[in-house]
Structure 1
Amino acid sequence: MSGNKFKRVLLKLSGEALMGEDAYGINRATIIRMTEEIAEVAKLGIELSIVIGGGNIFRGVAPGAQGMDRATADYMGMMATVMNALALQDALKNHGVVARVQSALNIDQVVEPYIRPKALRYLEEKKVVIFAAGTGNPFFTTDTAAALRGAEMGVEIVMKATKVDGIYSADPNKDPTATKYSRISFDEVITRRLEVMDATAFALCRDQKLPIMVFSINKPGALKRAVCGEDEGTLVHV
C-alpha cells in the first residue's frame, strides 16, 4: 500500500493517549499536539472518523469501581469517552477543523445520537466524525467499536494509535532483541498470539477484510505518513 493515500480512514485513539505524563485526565499540551496532527490529515481531504476510549478519565475513579457491577462500570466508561470526544471536538475547532460527535448512548442535550446515514454524510462533507460511547453496550471495548464503525463507514483501513511504533515479536520494552514487523497477516498474528486488538474487534476486522495499521501516536508526523500510505508502523492484512 506504500505511496497510496487512503481516502477514508478510521483512527482509534485510546483515552490514555490524551494523558501525556499525567496520572489521569487530559493533558492540554498532549491534546493540542494530537489535534494539530489530526487537523493536518483532515485538511488533506481525507475522510476521517475517530473512535476514542475513556481510560484516562475512568482511571481516576477506577479504585472506586472495584467490586462494582461490570455493566455499571462499563456504562461509566462509555460516558468517559463522551467527555473525551467533546474535548477532542473543541480542540479540533481551535485548529479550524469542523468535527461532529455522535454517541452510541442517547445524551441529546450534549451530543448527537449515532445515525449511520448522517455520519456518512458528514464524512462526504469532509467533517471529522468522532464516535463516542463505544458500541453503546457493556462488555464490548472501544476496539470493538472501532472495528464496527469502521465497517459501517466503509473505511479503507483502521489506524490504531498506540505507544509503540508497530507490532513486535515481543514487548520491545522488555526484550531489546524483539523484531518489528512491517507487514503481518491476521493469521500470523493469531498464530503468534500477538496483541493487536481485543479478540472480538480483531475477528470483525479479519472477517470484513478490513486492514489495521498499528503506529505510534507519540511519533511526530506518524499519522500523516500512515494515512498517506508511506512506510510507517505495522500493517495487519488478510
Structure 2
Amino acid sequence: MKRVLLKLSGEALAGEKKTGFDEAVVTEVAKQVKTLVDEGIQIGIVIGGGNFWRGRTSKNIDRTKADQIGMLATVMNCIYVSEIFRSQGMMTSILTPFACGEFTKMFSKDRTNKYFAHNMVVFFAGGTGHPYFSTDTSTVLRAIEIEADTILLAKAVDGVYDCDPKDHPDARKYPEVSIQEVIDRQLKVVDLTASIMCMENKMPMIVFGLNEKDSIVNAAHGIITGTRVTVE
C-alpha cells in the first residue's frame, strides 16, 4: 500500500468531551501516522467537522450557510491537527478548494503530488467547497483524484453493522461487505453519494474504530478488526 486517504471523525477526535479536541487522542493519531510515513506510505487526510458544528440539526439556518460553516469547521480541525502532527516531527500542508488567505493553499492534484514527493502529510480541508456535499463525499472525491490505494475510515464505531449498535445491542458487525450491499441496504458507512462514487470508481474502504490501539497502523498493514468494504 503506497498511498492512502485517512478520514478522521471530528467527534472521535473530541474524545469523551464530545466537542473541541482531546489532545491526547490527536497525539496518538499523529504517532500512528508518523509510523506509516516513516515506512514510506503517503498519507492524505480529511477530517469531519462534527466536533464543532452539526448545522443540519437546525431549521433556522439556511442549508447553504450551515454547510459553509461546516466547511470552515473542517479547516479549523485541519489547522489544529496539522500542528500536532508537526510537533511529532512530520511535515504537513493544508489544501482547500477555496482561498483562506495565508492559512491554506489551493488544492490541485499536481500540488498534492509535489507535497507527497517531499514526504509531507497532506490535509484536505473545506470539503468540496460546495454545499450539499458532506465530508464523506469529499473524502471519496479526493481519494479518487489522488489515486489512493484505499480509504481508511476511522470512526467512533468500530466497523459496519447491520443496524445501529447504539440502539440495537444485538447488531451484527460485518468483517467484510461489498459496496453494492452497503448501497442496497443503506448501511450508512458513508452517505449515498459517496458510496456510489466508491462503487463507480472502484475505491475500497476499511472501516475501523479510531480508539482501538494502533488501529490506523493495523488497518494500513491489512490487520483489520473492523470491516473491509469491497468494490469488486
TM-score of the superposition, structure 2-length normalised?
0.94
Structural mapping, 1:1-238, within 5 Å:
6-59=1-54, 66-238=59-231
**CA offsets, 1:133-156, max 9 Å, x none?**
000001100000000000000001
**3-state SS in 1 of match to 2:157:** coil
**3-state SS in 2 of match to 1:57:** coil
Q: Provide the C-alpha distance between the structure 2 equivalents of 1:71 and 1:16, rounded to a whole number of angstroms.
A: 22
Residue 197 and residue 39 in structure 1: after superposition, are their counterparts in 2 closer, same or farther (change >3 A)?
same
The alpha-carbon deviation at position 64 of structure 1 amounts to 10
Q: Provide the C-alpha distance between the structure 2 equivalents of 1:166 and 1:133, rounded to a whole number of angstroms.
A: 26
- What are the ranges of 5 or more consecutive residues in structure 2 without an aligned counterpart? none
90-99 vs 189-198, which deviates more? 189-198
Q: Which runs of 4+ in 1 moved over 6 A?
A: none
The alpha-carbon deviation at position 24 of structure 1 amounts to 1.5
Q: Provide the C-alpha distance between the structure 2 equivalents of 1:197 and 1:171, rounded to a whole number of angstroms.
A: 14
Residue 181 and residue 72 in structure 1: after superposition, are their counterparts in 2 closer, same or farther (change >3 A)?
same
Residue 187 and residue 64 in structure 1: after superposition, are their counterparts in 2 closer, same or farther (change >3 A)?
closer
On the 8 A contact 2:176/2:230 being kept in 1, the answer is yes
How many residues in Structure 1 have an aligned counterpart in Structure 2?
231
The alpha-carbon deviation at position 39 of structure 1 amounts to 1.9
Q: Provide the C-alpha distance between the structure 2 equivalents of 1:199 and 1:29, rounded to a whole number of angstroms.
A: 33
The alpha-carbon deviation at position 104 of structure 1 amounts to 1.5
Aligned partner letter, 2:116? L
**CA offsets, 1:109-145, max 9 Å, x none?**
2111112201112123221100000000011000000
Aligned partner letter, 2:25? T
Q: Provide the C-alpha distance between the structure 2 equivalents of 1:99 and 1:63, rounded to a whole number of angstroms.
A: 31
On the 8 A contact 2:182/2:195 being kept in 1, the answer is no
Q: Provide the C-alpha distance between the structure 1 equivalents of 2:56 and 2:192, rounded to a whole number of angstroms.
A: 26
The alpha-carbon deviation at position 83 of structure 1 amounts to 0.6
Q: Provide the C-alpha distance between the structure 2 equivalents of 1:175 and 1:74, rounded to a whole number of angstroms.
A: 30
Aligned partner letter, 1:167? V
Larger RCO (CA under 8 A, 6+ residues apart)? 1
**3-state SS in 1 of match to 2:19:** coil
**Percent identical residues:** 38
TM-score of the superposition, structure 1-length normalised?
0.91
**3-state SS in 2 of match to 1:56:** coil
Q: Provide the C-alpha distance between the structure 1 equivalents of 2:5 and 2:134, rounded to a whole number of angstroms.
A: 16
**3-state SS in 2 of match to 1:230:** coil
Aligned partner letter, 1:233? G
36-45 vs 171-180, which deviates more? 171-180
Aligned partner letter, 1:30? V
Aligned partner letter, 1:234? T
